[in-house]
Amino acid sequence: MGEFAYTTVPGKIKPLLEKIRHVGVPPKATVQWLKTIGFTSSNDASLLGVLKAVALVDATGVPTSAWTSYRGAHHKKVLGDAVRQGYAELFAVYPDAWQRSTTDLEHVFSTSSSAGKQVIAKTVSTFKAVCELAEFGAPDEQPSPTVHTGPMHSPVAATPSAHAVAPPNGCKVPSVHIDIQIHISPEATTDQIDQIFKSMSKHLYGSQGA
């Protein structure tokens, strides 16, 4: 488990992220850039490590697409997703990491670092400060595949029944054509995909599936 980022000024995380949403996107996030937006203390430089931890900037300090997305209306959700990714090892231990106690977080952070208690405390404070500005789904929330039906082209179409009653001579009956379009999340599991097609087989062809 790798080292986790921290800042010695966690109280400045909120004003920094608010600035990011309103000032222009810099070519690169640097100490000098921090100074131009009001973060002039020598300790403020440690905030750059937090931006890297949640992938708002890359390893060289260049703003990423997440930075641009964070400037939008759904900034809390964007940050929540970024925190999940940046602290993936922590979330692997505690899926509800943002709700965990200081003791739980200290235990995980201390087992991944040889740092002393003060650094571990700052690491916890950093994580909590970021989480306060983020929005997370339920701990067990998983993307699920969805099936949409409608008048759209699809690889599956209903076929006429062999036992359909023929219309009286001279009568024209409009044909009915049903298309089904399936949208499956790229994160769906194999079992979820199999279940979708078993369900389709059951309802379209009367088969219960294996």
pLDDT digits (tens, 9 = 90+) for 146-185: 333 333 333 444 444 444 455 555 555 555 545 555 555 5
Mapped onto helix, strand or coil, the DSSP state of residue 42 is helix
Instruction: Give the bridge partners for 147, in sequence order.
Output: 182
What tokens appear for 40 in the block? 């002039």
Residues 6+ apart with CB under 8 A from 144: 185, 188, 192
Assess whether pLDDT exceeds 50 at residue 18.
Answer: yes
Cα gap 33→30, rounded to integer Å:
5
Which tokens sit at 203?
């309802």
pLDDT (0 to 100) of residue 112: 77
Lookup: tokens for 28: 């690169």
Tell me which range, 34-43, 136-145, 150-159, is most confidently predicted by mean pLDDT: 34-43
Q: How confident is the model at residue 190 (pLDDT cuts 50, 70, 90)?
A: low
Note the pTM of the prediction, 2 decimals.
Answer: 0.62
